[in-house]
Chains A and B, each alone.
Chain A
Amino acid sequence: MIRINQDVAAALLFIAFGAVGLYVAWSYPVGTAVRMGPGYVPRLLCWAMIGLGVLVGLKGLGSSGVRVERWAWFPLILLSLAVLAFAGLIERAGLVAATLALVLIGARAGHEFKFAEVGVLAVFLAIGSVLLFKTGLGLPMVGIPGIY
């Protein structure tokens, strides 16, 4: 069985990037070395990525290497969700709703979560960001739709 150490994992990532890039860039005109087409450099780089990935991988297989630590999936998903929720809400529901969503979802990722504490923080940050960015800096944002 292949041990997945840091190098092997990184190698797979690099090769994947190179392969996807090559697949996408396949239709781009390559041109000649004198008049390089828009596909020349991308293809060169993608092959280099694959080559480097293979080298990194061989190095990883040849040694025991550093094991990949367990991923903390829960915080990863929550924090990403928090940012995506902000992105989804900012234009539809305004800065206040987006801030509340980001803080309330994001804070769950920590080791401790006390609702009262996070609630106060979220409200404080929502008011603060509206005051700072909308009132203070005058950025074109909506605080609460229909109200401010």
Chain B
Amino acid sequence: MELLANLALGFDVALGWQNLLFCLVGVLLGTLIGVLPGLGPVATVAMLLPITFYLPPIGALIMLAGIYYGAQYGGSTTAILVNLPGESSSVVTCLDGYQMARQGRAGAALATAALGSFFAGSVATVVIVLFSPPLTEFAKKFGAAEYFSLMALGLIAAVVLAHGSVLKAVSMIFLGLLLGLVGTDVNTGLQRFTFGIPELADGIGFVPVAMGLFGIAEILANVEKKEGRSVMAVITRLWPTREDFRQATPAVLRGTAIGSILGVLPGGGALLSAFAAYTFEKKIAKDPSRFGKGAIEGVAAPESANNAGAQTSFIPLLTLGIPPNAVMALMVGAMTIHGIIPGPQVMTQRPDLFWGMIASMWIGNLMLVIINLPLIGIWVKLLKVPYRLLFPTILLICAIGVYTLNNSVFEVGLTALFGILGYAFYKFGCEPAPLLLGFILGPLMEENLRRAMVLSRGDPLVFFQRPLSLTMLLMAAALLVIIILPAVRKKREEAFQE
């Protein structure tokens, strides 16, 4: 019954007209930017972060969450209509969604994606409500050693489950950890890696890092591509047929289940969920050859899965304070700026914030369905704006966003620098997401490592003597060993190929 009381509190907060408005604005802005080709949720959230800093903490987090689903949703619209995935998790949606659109079933594909996402979002909200309290209780037993081991496990799992080279991803994490150390050392006051620049005394801001690596670098990568637009599909009929419903419904259910589970895992979230759901549908289909030619399951399953995964990835953030993916790393940054330290204490100390945010997730999903199906015409018009006019506009939003954050010219320059670095990473085949995770976790890990070592009087065995800590380290080691085994590695590459 306590659950119901909590939920009531949550809806009380989320249904306040102010928070409803923040949620609506977030969802709309997220969709608006997410629809633009080449801008994924990470870039969108990074770009719009500065706007939310002027809001009260609850409003800001509600709006950011809205931006996240909105961006996710906008990405699928682009994927279906013009075959351009706005973000990596929509790559799968392109396969069958665009084919459906070419067959004149664009409306059905969009409606399936929207309704599937809404269902998945609703289920994922329930999952969060059910699993957060026990996990929070569990997390309260954690000491410094456990936290350090948990973060190590999280980072390693994030690498294993992400795609691309494991070795390079580990290097990117370490680079992120290193960049996270820049600034004044909390224990001694020593200025580390600041090169005598006073602006770096408080460390490198995470907004310039995220905006540079994800926003500017993505513009750079897009600008050099030739502007070749696929023909835009025409929407004739929006509502799916009875036959569509019959085929899509079980796929939505399976996608939701897969997404809800995979979203919680470190490195999971939307992308992995969408890929896994699509592969699964193809495996169990009676006639796998239909996939890639406009099978409605190929839209329904991954779209539900990515939304469920996007939402359940809030669980580790809200209960343990550990961000499982890059978007959640941005959320940690946003919370910290508002003076909220993510972790198990949030639920007890700020129940209004915790439950309000969860309730608003469901409301946000509802808004997406209600608003976006009628608004689809506007998003389509937006897609017709040529990229040569869009990218200077996006660049301007990034620049103004970073500047207004602290009125700091230095941070704008830093953003440009990280943009160049991000472009280098893109050219060298290095994923920037692990770097951002390491960057956010770096200072926390160092602090917990040092504290654990002091508490144990310098006995490094402390990490192995405490059962919880040991379990997590063993899991991390097992993951590393597994991934190095050639057989598993081949399988993993295959899985990401599909």
Once the chains bind, are A112 and B412 in contact (CB under 8 Å)? Answer: no
Residues of B within 8 Å of A, CB-based: how many? 62
Interface string of A1-40 (1 = CB under 8 A from B): 0000011011001100100010011001100111111101
Residue of B nearest to A95 (CB): B400
Q: Which residues of A contact B226 (CB under 8 A)?
A: 111
* Interface assignment of B399: CB less than 8 Å from any CB of chain A: yes
Name the one of A25, A56, A99, A113 contacting B192, with C-beta atoms under 8 angstroms.
A25
Take A24-B193, A72-B224 as given contacts and tell me if A45 and B396 are in contact as well, using a CB distance cutoff of 8 Å.
no
Q: Which of A44-95 contact B (CB under 8 A)?
A: 45-46, 48-49, 52-53, 55-56, 59, 66, 68-69, 71-72, 75-76, 79-80, 82-84, 86-88, 90-91, 95
Once the chains bind, are B428 and A6 in contact (CB under 8 Å)? Answer: yes
Once the chains bind, are A83 and B167 in contact (CB under 8 Å)? Answer: no
Interface stretch (choices B19-27, B71-79, B448-456, B464-472)? B448-456
Take A6-B428, A72-B224, A79-B395 as given contacts and tell me if A38 and B193 are in contact as well, using a CB distance cutoff of 8 Å.
no
Q: Once bound together, how far apart are the Cα atoms of A67 and B31, in whole Å?
A: 36
Name the one of B175, B181, B388, B392 contacting A111, with C-beta atoms under 8 angstroms.
B388
Once the chains bind, are A76 and B220 in contact (CB under 8 Å)? Answer: yes
* Interface assignment of A97: CB less than 8 Å from any CB of chain B: no
Once the chains bind, are B387 and A110 in contact (CB under 8 Å)? Answer: yes
Residue of B nearest to A58 (CB): B167
Once the chains bind, are B393 and A6 in contact (CB under 8 Å)? Answer: no
Q: Which residues of A contact B416 (CB under 8 A)?
A: 80, 83-84, 87
Q: Once bound together, how far apart are the Cα atoms of A17 and B403, in whole Å?
A: 27
Q: Once bound together, how far apart are the Cα atoms of A88 and B410, in whole Å?
A: 9
Query: Most chain-A Cβ atoms within 10 A of its Cβ — which of B54, B178, B181, B420?
Result: B178
* Interface assignment of B244: CB less than 8 Å from any CB of chain A: no
Interface string of B24-59 (1 = CB under 8 A from A): 000000000000000000000000000000100000
Name the one of B54, B165, B424 contacting A13, with C-beta atoms under 8 angstroms.
B424
Once the chains bind, are B174 and A71 in contact (CB under 8 Å)? Answer: no
Q: Which of B382-411 contact A (CB under 8 A)?
A: 387-389, 391-393, 395-396, 398-400, 403-404, 407, 409-410
Q: Once bound together, how far apart are the Cα atoms of A7 and B190, in whole Å?
A: 35
Q: Once bound together, how far apart are the Cα atoms of A75 and B430, in whole Å?
A: 20
* Interface assignment of B104: CB less than 8 Å from any CB of chain A: no
Once the chains bind, are A49 and B388 in contact (CB under 8 Å)? Answer: no
Q: How many A-B residue pairs have C-beta atoms within 8 angstroms? Tell me.
A: 185
Name the one of A29, A55, A80 contacting B167, with C-beta atoms under 8 angstroms.
A55
Q: Which residues of B contact A110 (CB under 8 A)?
A: 223, 387-388, 391
Q: Once bound together, how far apart are the Cα atoms of A61 and B90, in whole Å?
A: 34
* Interface assignment of A118: CB less than 8 Å from any CB of chain B: yes
Residue of B nearest to A86 (CB): B399
Q: Once bound together, how far apart are the Cα atoms of A9 and B449, in whole Å?
A: 32
Take A38-B188, A102-B396 as given contacts and tell me if A45 and B171 are in contact as well, using a CB distance cutoff of 8 Å.
no
Residue of B nearest to A129 (CB): B400
Shortest B81–chain A CB gap in Å is 22
Q: Once bound together, how far apart are the Cα atoms of A6 and B220, in whole Å?
A: 18
Once the chains bind, are B223 and A41 in contact (CB under 8 Å)? Answer: no
* Interface assignment of B219: CB less than 8 Å from any CB of chain A: yes
Once the chains bind, are B454 and A90 in contact (CB under 8 Å)? Answer: no
* Interface assignment of A116: CB less than 8 Å from any CB of chain B: no
Once the chains bind, are A79 and B419 in contact (CB under 8 Å)? Answer: yes
Take A72-B223, A87-B412 as given contacts and tell me if A34 and B428 are in contact as well, using a CB distance cutoff of 8 Å.
no
Interface string of B415-426 (1 = CB under 8 A from A): 110011001110
Name the one of A10, A35, A129 contacting B396, with C-beta atoms under 8 angstroms.
A129
Q: Given A7-B429, A38-B185, A133-B400, 10 other A-B contacts at CB below 8 A?
A: A9-B428, A10-B429, A21-B193, A38-B187, A86-B399, A87-B399, A87-B409, A87-B416, A99-B396, A110-B223
9 examples of A-B residue contacts, CB within 8 angstroms: A21-B178, A34-B453, A36-B449, A42-B193, A72-B224, A79-B223, A79-B419, A83-B415, A87-B412
B interface residues, Cβ below 8 angstroms from A: 54, 165, 167-168, 170-171, 174-175, 177-178, 181, 185, 187-188, 190, 192-193, 195, 216, 219-220, 223-224, 226-227, 387-389, 391-393, 395-396, 398-400, 403-404, 407, 409-410, 412-413, 415-416, 419-420, 423-425, 427-430, 446, 449-450, 453-454, 457-458, 460
A interface residues, Cβ below 8 angstroms from B: 6-7, 9-10, 13-14, 17, 21, 24-25, 28-29, 32-38, 40-42, 45-46, 48-49, 52-53, 55-56, 59, 66, 68-69, 71-72, 75-76, 79-80, 82-84, 86-88, 90-91, 95, 98-99, 102-103, 106-107, 109-113, 117-118, 121-122, 125, 129, 133, 137, 139-141
